[in-house]
């Protein structure tokens, strides 16, 4: 059995759906990863072969003002999971982030590049990566710029704003790869099935700025919104973000055969699925 911790989150829900009968999900109502007792009780009782930790404190700006919670959930929580997995001989899969890098490299980051976080969130995710190593059988999957049907994300924010306004300013000096949680779930499954261990990068292929991503969302959704450039400095958020954090994913492909598709193709399919679901909901409401 593959236990997904954080199964009500954006990635967790898509991963659980993909795993079908192989998967079992738990979230904060069943397990609190900041409590060693809670972690040991749940993992000891379920005895999974693999634990995928999708649980995290993911509010990047919120982490700046709450270092304690950030480190408890994203850092220490992973240590408790790793120790529990070691105890029962399970594999721990820890989901991590491009924010462990400072964004100064200028070319795609490979797995061996030295992390150098520039935010509390990034520091806490790096602590989680290091703590995952308490479990001898561990796999770290770094990803970035996630969107999906089951959580707050940039695509949903743009669609909401695009329905209200015909002009928006979006940062054009942060570069990365938008990644659909369904595609990430497929990559994680390929890594588990392939028996991979160590660190891997997994994201949709090719990259853009948030500004370019916003333009693509509006174009694919058929919304006529003008997107002006603005800088990260102008946006003035509490947490610093890496300016260039594209992840090189060729190790994932060479070790598993899984080839992430282009981010724009994934976005197109996501929007189609979203439209289909909302028209089904409307039809159901009419009947």
Ligand X SMILES: NC(=O)c1ccc[n+]([C@@H]2O[C@H](COP(=O)([O-])OP(=O)(O)OC[C@H]3O[C@@H](n4cnc5c(N)ncnc54)[C@H](OP(=O)(O)O)[C@@H]3O)[C@@H](O)[C@H]2O)c1
Interface contacts to ligand X, rule CB under 6 A? 6, 8-12, 27-28, 31-34, 54-58, 73, 77, 95, 97, 125, 143-146, 151
Q: Contact at 8 Å (CB) between 61 and 239?
A: yes
Q: CA–CA separation, 125 vs 57, rounded Å?
A: 9
Minimum Å distance from CB 63 to ligand X? 10
φ/ψ of 201, rounded to 5, equals -105, 140
> Which CB atom, from 28 or from 110, has the smaller least distance to ligand X?
28
> Which CB atom, from 11 or from 225, has the smaller least distance to ligand X?
11
Q: Contact at 8 Å (CB) between 24 and 188?
A: no
Minimum Å distance from CB 196 to ligand X? 18
> Which CB atom, from 97 or from 189, has the smaller least distance to ligand X?
97
With tokens 């820890």, the residue in question is 94
Q: Contact at 8 Å (CB) between 127 and 75?
A: yes
Residue nearest to ligand X (CB): 9
Marked catalytic residue, from 57, 80, 109, 121: 121
Closest to 16 (Cα-Cα) out of 191, 139, 189: 189
Minimum Å distance from CB 286 to ligand X? 31
Minimum Å distance from CB 230 to ligand X? 20
* Whether residue 121 lies in the annotated active site: yes
> Which CB atom, from 122 or from 283, has the smaller least distance to ligand X?
122
Q: Which two tokens stand for residue 19?
A: 């795993």
Q: CA–CA separation, 126 vs 129, rounded Å?
A: 5
Residues forming the active site: 121
């Amino acid at each position: 059995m593959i236990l997904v911790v954080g199964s009500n989150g954006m990635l967790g829900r898509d991963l659980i759906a993909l795993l079908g009968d192989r998967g079992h999900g738990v979230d904060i109502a069943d397990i609190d990863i900041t409590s060693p007792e809670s972690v040991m009780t749940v993992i000891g009782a379920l005895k999974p072969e693999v634990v995928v930790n999708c649980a995290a404190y993911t509010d990047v700006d919120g982490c700046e003002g709450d270092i304690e919670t950030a480190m408890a959930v994203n850092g220490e929580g992973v240590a408790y999971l790793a120790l529990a997995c070691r105890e029962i001989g399970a594999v721990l899969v820890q989901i991590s982030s491009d924010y462990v890098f400072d964004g100064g490299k200028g070319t795609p980051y490979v797995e061996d590049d030295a992390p150098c976080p520039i935010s509390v969130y990034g520091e806490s995710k790096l602590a989680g990566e290091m703590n995952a190593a308490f479990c001898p059988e561990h796999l770290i999957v770094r990803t970035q710029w996630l969107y999906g049907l089951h959580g707050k994300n940039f695509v949903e924010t743009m669609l909401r704003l695009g329905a209200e306004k015909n002009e928006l300013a979006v940062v054009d000096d942060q570069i990365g790869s938008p990644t659909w949680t369904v595609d990430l779930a497929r990559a994680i499954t390929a890594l588990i099935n392939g028996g991979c261990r160590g660190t891997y990068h997994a994201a949709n292929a090719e990259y853009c700025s948030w500004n370019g991503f916003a333009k693509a969302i509006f174009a694919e959704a058929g919304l006529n919104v003008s997107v002006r450039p603005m800088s990260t400095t102008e946006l003035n958020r509490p947490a610093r973000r890496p300016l260039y954090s594209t992840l090189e994913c060729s190790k994932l492909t060479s070790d598993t055969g899984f080839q992430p598709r282009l981010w724009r193709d994934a976005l197109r399919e996501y929007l189609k699925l979203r439209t289909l679901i909302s028209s089904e909901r409307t039809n159901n409401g009419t009947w």
